[in-house]
Structure 1
Amino acid sequence: MHSQAETMSREDLRALQARRLRETVERVYHLVPFYRRKLEEAGVRPEDIRSVDDLRRLPFTLKQDLRDHYPFGLFATPLEQVIRIHSSSGTTGKPTVVGYTAHDLEVWTEVMARSLVMGGVTAADVVHNAYGYGLFTGGLGFHYGAERLGAAVVPSSGGFTKRQLMLMKDFGATVLCSTPSFALHLAEVAKEEGYDIKKDFRLRVGFFGAEPASEGLRQAVREAWGIHYVEAYGLSEIIGPGVAASCPHGGLHVFEDHFIPEIIDPETGEVLPEGQEGELVITPITKQALPLLRYRTKDISRLYYAPCPCGRTIVRMETIKGRTDDMLIVNGVNVFPSQVEHVLTQVEGVTPNYVIVLDKKGVLDKLEVWVEVDENVFTDAVGGLEELKRRLEQELLNNLYINAKVKLVEPKTLERSMGKAKRIVDRRELIQK
């Protein structure tokens, strides 16, 4: 079941986008002083927006702009019309605050339902939703989308791993919604608790997002649970999850009737041609409370416009490789944590649980990767562990051109995350201070 908006011709879609983009620009020009000023500085008026190509004339919006106008300074509707407020965790200063009108929640529910349809979810399913509820958009996003399809939702939220496993088994969950790292953690604890994953659970599909995941981590989740893996992408500033989701043919379909994606060069801001890697920029074109122009996500991806074998004509986006602000520069070499993860998961004998520790040694950066070994391997002779350590160091050098010291640690010693996994410990700034 495809939504009609997902299969329309590119011409019809671009005409719809152009109309909605013009309405959005008009909305922010008249209702948000920040945007009126930015548009006047750029010499653009709403009537100048005639096609999607005019998008590149519009100014960018940064996360800092939301922080500078905390809490409601970028809202385009009075608070009487806002019926929900979410916000980011605000770990680096003020949180970013997002508002929703009744119309916005309707759009969000619709795109979440479409995302779930990509994994074959129907009214017959039991959806175990282990995304965090509360100010984080993950939990409620999946909740409303699944309810729209008539599925039974178990709003378990994060944490309480053993209780979650009991509920998944007893309620016969067929769908799991969580971060990929928490899905792996659930599988690990299930084995410890003596569950037989194949016999005790009925899961057939999972919806995973909220953190970058390499192909190796995705494969580890598929194998641990024996399920189909659907990638869900979104960010609270745009709407929450529901911006894009993956179909069985690979790549994530962006719901282009609501969000226009672009790929830009993160240094120059120039729009890049189809298929080139760069920073993903998104303009929501149906939002009322918080319409944003050309929001810079800092996520690294590519776009492909060729029609998909699944029948959808909406653009496909490559799995997020990492974030421009997650990129580590180690002695002049650019590395994303997801690239390190991918190398580790290709080597037999280690688990996908790892931490990257960065230190300074004189003027040089020193990179250490702590990685948990597989339980079966840990009982082996010390010589075998030395060989495994050497092999991992060689693979990181061959694939990523980085000299990393690998430290093998015992199974289950690295901290587990109930939400987004924390993969990097950067001590370089601490040392310089």
Structure 2
Amino acid sequence: MYFNREIETMPLDRLRALQNERLQSQVHMMYQQIPHYRELFRQHNLKPSDISGVRDLHKIPFTHKSALRDNYPFGLFARQRKDLARLHCSSGTTGKPIVVGYTQHDIGVFAEVVARSLAAAGCRPGMLLQNAYGYGLFTGGLGIHYGAELLGMTVLPISGGGTEKQLMLMQDFQSDVICCTPSYALTLAEEMKRRNIDQSALALRFAVLGAEPWTESVRSEIERKLQVNATNIYGLSEIIGPGVSQEDYEEKGTGSYIWEDHFYPEIVDKDTGDPLPYGEQGVLVFTTLTKEASPVLRYYTNDIASVYYDKSAKRTHIKMSPIAGRADDMLIIRGVNLFHTQVEAVIQNIPELTPNYQLVVFRKGAMDEVEVRVEVESALFDSIAAEQDAPLEHDRFLAAFHLLQKRIKDTIGLSMRVTLEHPGAIPRSEGGKLNRIVHRQA
């Protein structure tokens, strides 16, 4: 299903012409209205007329998150506060938050790209969407809410957390769709099992999951335990919120469509900043093409991904790969670049282990080391525990322990300490993002 078939299937030459037209308009507006960008252009001997289209974007320096913090609260806004319909803030834990604004036009764009995303995820008018993203300053809850209503869905605005009530209403209201983080979807699935809730008695069919990186192993686990079709939704507050890109439920594993009539993507080398060709992995950079209140040029997301056109896809818009990690969260262990999703991908093929894991980084001498804490499969654990006092020392778990160590070494190139944990030992999500990496003193 399409929400806006004309735009979603627009021939690429027409789409590019639309992008060029919108970019020129955006650049001229920002030059006139935002002193930061006017000064940036002056420092680099640029004029708005130098940017004739997306092919000229590389001439413009990146916008980093620090620029948004340095201009707190409204210094990067192109509209006066009295003209804004809404303000959101990032969930940053240090310093001032990132503030983003929306005119009524921006709210309309936000709702449309989310409606497109939900339609691609399999949602249909009349379905009941249980929205377990947080409401408030975070863009997730209200972003999904307005888009779902625009699509014609019934929205249950339950927000994040409150697992007992989530499951009660999911049963009583017969929700068709759940929207939350992937880690919280696993939390719901585990709690359903603990409470002996029969999934076949639910109406749940689709899960629209985002706000944190996740892998195919997590998707498989969620789909198996919740009996849903699970797709990824991607976004960030600095660009608009959720709905920047979305997987199609019939094309899972081939990437997420970026709604590039509103958000133009680039991939750049994390060390040099040079643009990279389609298909190569680097840092994802976005330029807004239609945003009125707080537009950005070449926003450096720090997310690691690739973009490419899929000629066999049902839409013409470019696709992006899953997020491999963040450039600023990348671990460098004994000279090897490491993202936690690489470890997750290794864990997925060992049936005795679950996707519930955590990387613990600690210092040993002059070098950083990594410990992988991973939970064992609960049903197997319970069956072994019924027979012996130390189930984690059973031959099957010891074999899984050695296999995980070997595969990490073979595929990632690092030796890591592995600790098997009993079910429930790794912290669970209560609706927010789950921290897979912790740092501790040795």
- Distance apart, 1:12 and its partner CA: 0.7
Provide the C-alpha distance between the structure 2 equivalents of 1:227 and 1:184, rounded to a whole number of angstroms. 12
Which residue of structure 2 lines up, in the alignment, with residue 303 of structure 1?
307
- Aligned pairs for 1:23-38 (under 5 A) are 23-38=25-40
Give the conservation status (yes or no) of the 8 Å contact 1:371–1:408.
yes
Provide the C-alpha distance between the structure 2 equivalents of 1:339 and 1:219, rounded to a whole number of angstroms. 16
Deviations 1:45-104 (A, max 9, x none): 112222220111112100011011111110010001111111111213221110111000
**Structure 2 counterpart of 1:289, from 289, 293, 313:** 293
- Aligned pairs for 1:251-290 (under 5 A) are 251-290=255-294
Which residue of structure 1 lines up, in the alignment, with residue 388 of structure 2?
none
Provide the C-alpha distance between the structure 2 equivalents of 1:369 and 1:13, rounded to a whole number of angstroms. 45
Provide the C-alpha distance between the structure 2 equivalents of 1:364 and 1:271, rounded to a whole number of angstroms. 33
The more displaced of 188-197 and 43-52 is 43-52
1:103 equivalent in alignment to 2:105: yes
- Distance apart, 1:132 and its partner CA: 0.7
Provide the C-alpha distance between the structure 2 equivalents of 1:144 and 1:257, rounded to a whole number of angstroms. 20
Which residue of structure 2 lines up, in the alignment, with residue 403 of structure 1?
415
| Local SS of the residue matching 1:421 | coil
Give the AA of the match of 1:87: C
Sequence identity percentage: 47
Which residue of structure 1 lines up, in the alignment, with residue 239 of structure 2?
238
Provide the C-alpha distance between the structure 2 equivalents of 1:388 and 1:231, rounded to a whole number of angstroms. 29
Give the conservation status (yes or no) of the 8 Å contact 2:129–2:155.
yes
Which residue of structure 2 lines up, in the alignment, with residue 424 of structure 1?
437
Provide the C-alpha distance between the structure 1 equivalents of 2:429 and 2:95, rounded to a whole number of angstroms. 22
Provide the C-alpha distance between the structure 2 equivalents of 1:404 and 1:79, rounded to a whole number of angstroms. 51
Deviations 1:351-393 (A, max 9, x none): 2111110111112222111111111232425232322211211
- Aligned pairs for 1:57-72 (under 5 A) are 57-72=59-74
- Distance apart, 1:414 and its partner CA: 1.7
Provide the C-alpha distance between the structure 2 equivalents of 1:121 and 1:306, rounded to a whole number of angstroms. 23
Give the conservation status (yes or no) of the 8 Å contact 2:130–2:179.
yes
1:12 equivalent in alignment to 2:14: yes
**Structure 1 counterpart of 2:373, from 355, 370, 375:** 370
- Distance apart, 1:242 and its partner CA: 0.8
Provide the C-alpha distance between the structure 2 equivalents of 1:165 and 1:375, rounded to a whole number of angstroms. 21
Give the conservation status (yes or no) of the 8 Å contact 1:111–1:255.
yes
Provide the C-alpha distance between the structure 1 equivalents of 2:295 and 2:189, rounded to a whole number of angstroms. 39
Provide the C-alpha distance between the structure 2 equivalents of 1:389 and 1:51, rounded to a whole number of angstroms. 54
Deviations 1:12-45 (A, max 9, x none): 1111101110111111101111000001112221
Which residue of structure 2 lines up, in the alignment, with residue 226 of structure 1?
227
Which residue of structure 2 lines up, in the alignment, with residue 321 of structure 1?
324
- Distance apart, 1:202 and its partner CA: 1.0
Give the conservation status (yes or no) of the 8 Å contact 2:132–2:180.
yes
| Local SS of the residue matching 1:352 | strand
Deviations 1:303-357 (A, max 9, x none): 11243432x1110111111111121111111110111111112211112111110
Which residue of structure 2 lines up, in the alignment, with residue 119 of structure 1?
121
Give the AA of the match of 2:101: G
1:359 equivalent in alignment to 2:370: no
Give the conservation status (yes or no) of the 8 Å contact 1:279–1:296.
yes
- Distance apart, 1:221 and its partner CA: 1.1
Deviations 1:183-202 (A, max 9, x none): 010000001011011x2211
Give the conservation status (yes or no) of the 8 Å contact 1:127–1:146.
yes
1:383 equivalent in alignment to 2:386: no
Provide the C-alpha distance between the structure 2 equivalents of 1:148 and 1:35, rounded to a whole number of angstroms. 34
**Structure 1 counterpart of 2:425, from 407, 413, 422:** 413
| Local SS of the residue matching 1:366 | strand
Give the AA of the match of 2:208: F
| Local SS of the residue matching 1:230 | strand
- Aligned pairs for 1:114-263 (under 5 A) are 114-197=116-199, 199-247=200-248, 248-249=250-251, 250-263=254-267
Which residue of structure 1 lines up, in the alignment, with residue 387 of structure 2?
none
Deviations 1:245-286 (A, max 9, x none): 011222100001100000000111101111111110000110
Provide the C-alpha distance between the structure 1 equivalents of 2:378 and 2:48, rounded to a whole number of angstroms. 61
- Distance apart, 1:401 and its partner CA: 1.1
Give the AA of the match of 1:366: E
For normalisation by structure 1, the TM-score amounts to 0.96
Give the AA of the match of 1:94: K
Give the conservation status (yes or no) of the 8 Å contact 2:121–2:246.
no
Provide the C-alpha distance between the structure 2 equivalents of 1:144 and 1:67, rounded to a whole number of angstroms. 27
For normalisation by structure 2, the TM-score amounts to 0.94
Provide the C-alpha distance between the structure 1 equivalents of 2:312 and 2:188, rounded to a whole number of angstroms. 33
Which residue of structure 2 lines up, in the alignment, with residue 393 of structure 1?
405
Q: Give 5+ residue unaligned stretches, structure 2.
A: 385-390
The more displaced of 368-377 and 152-161 is 368-377
Give the conservation status (yes or no) of the 8 Å contact 1:85–1:99.
yes
Provide the C-alpha distance between the structure 2 equivalents of 1:96 and 1:238, rounded to a whole number of angstroms. 11
Give the conservation status (yes or no) of the 8 Å contact 1:214–1:339.
no
| Local SS of the residue matching 1:263 | strand
